[in-house]
Amino acid sequence: MIKKEYITIVKEYETAAELPAEFQRIIIDSKNASMRAYSPYSGFNVGASVLLENGEIVSGNNQENAAYPSGLCAERVAIFYANSKYPEIPVKAIAICAFNKNGFLKTPITPCGSCRQVILETELRFNTPIAVILIGQKTIQIVENISQLLPLSFKKSDLIE
């Protein structure tokens, strides 16, 4: 038997002021995007903003549907929009936040498994790590790349092995 251990490194910050200006910009943008989410069923608004290598910011938010599986998460909306509008520009970072009837969440939320897989595919597509910025009222967490949140991932190479 071989035992393997996977370690996730998360950097925590108390305020956005501790971060580079470009990360501060996408944090603000993701909060604004969450305010425009369409979430009449859950009341759980999520916003995501993507910072591209060229400095452009693309945002998205969750879009719910009465046929629940037909909705889409904020992270995928933002990533897919960025990849369709700027197909040759790598993603540098993604910021994610959420609020509900009580306001912005005190602790950060993480992307669901499907969103993690889509972020990973984008990271692999451009061979560039994507910083994941998780925003809460009390703390901001940053992981250097999506593999930190998806260590045993499914990749293109798995299709041809």
**Beta strands 91-100 and 131-135, pairing class:** parallel
Helix (H) or strand (E) holding 28: helix 21-35
- Is 75 among the catalytic positions? yes
Burial class (CB in 10 A: 0-12, 13-18, 19+), 14: exposed
Catalytic residue among 14, 53, 75, 88: 75
**Contact criterion met (CB below 8 Å) for 132 and 149:** yes
Structure tokens at 155: 């990749």
User: So which residues are the catalytic ones?
Assistant: 75
